[in-house]
Every structure is written in C-alpha cells, then in structure tokens.
Amino acid sequence: MVQETYITDDTELLAADQNERVIARTTELIGEGKKYESLKLPPDLKRRFLLLKLALTMPAPKDAKLRGELTQVAASLDGSAR
C-alpha cells in the first residue's frame, strides 16, 4: 500500500477510502451469499463463499460514516507501523 512507503496524510486518506470501498462491497457480497448457506453446494463453490467471508481482516460497521472512520484509523496505524 502506498501509505506504507509515502507516509503522508494524503496517502492515508487514499488508502482509507479504497479500503472502505472494498470492505463495503465485500460485506454486501457476504450478505447476498447468506441466502445460499442452506443449499447443498459443490465443494469448490462452498469454498469460495468461505474465502469471501474470510477476506475481511476486520469486522466493519454497516454505517458508512463509522466504516469510514474505522478505515482511516486502520490506514493511519498501518502507515505509522512502518
């Protein structure tokens, strides 16, 4: 991630914005996939649903404002840990 190399407020904001989008969409897809949990799926498809659930490294709130705040803090911590 760019904020790990170029530690500035701008790169942290860019990283946080992109992470927020990825987390929001992944959360949507996980929610949509729940309707298939009761079906008997082929092992490869079942594994894909599991990997989608495991893709999120941190639980994120559904509220967009709170999710944005969370991703900003995470990007800031990620940049400062280097």
Q: Cβ of 8: how many Cβ atoms within 10 Å?
A: 11
> What per-residue confidence (pLDDT) applies to 43?
95
Q: For 5-64, what is each residue's pLDDT tens digit?
A: 556 777 888 888 888 888 888 888 988 999 998 999 999 999 999 999 898 877 777 788
> What per-residue confidence (pLDDT) applies to 6?
59
> What per-residue confidence (pLDDT) applies to 69?
85
> What per-residue confidence (pLDDT) applies to 19?
82
What backbone phi and psi angles, to 5 degrees, belong to 63?
-65, 125
Residue 3, pLDDT above cutoff 90: no
Residue 60 exposed, middle or buried by CB count within 10 Å (0-12, 13-18, 19+): buried
Residue 73, pLDDT above cutoff 90: no
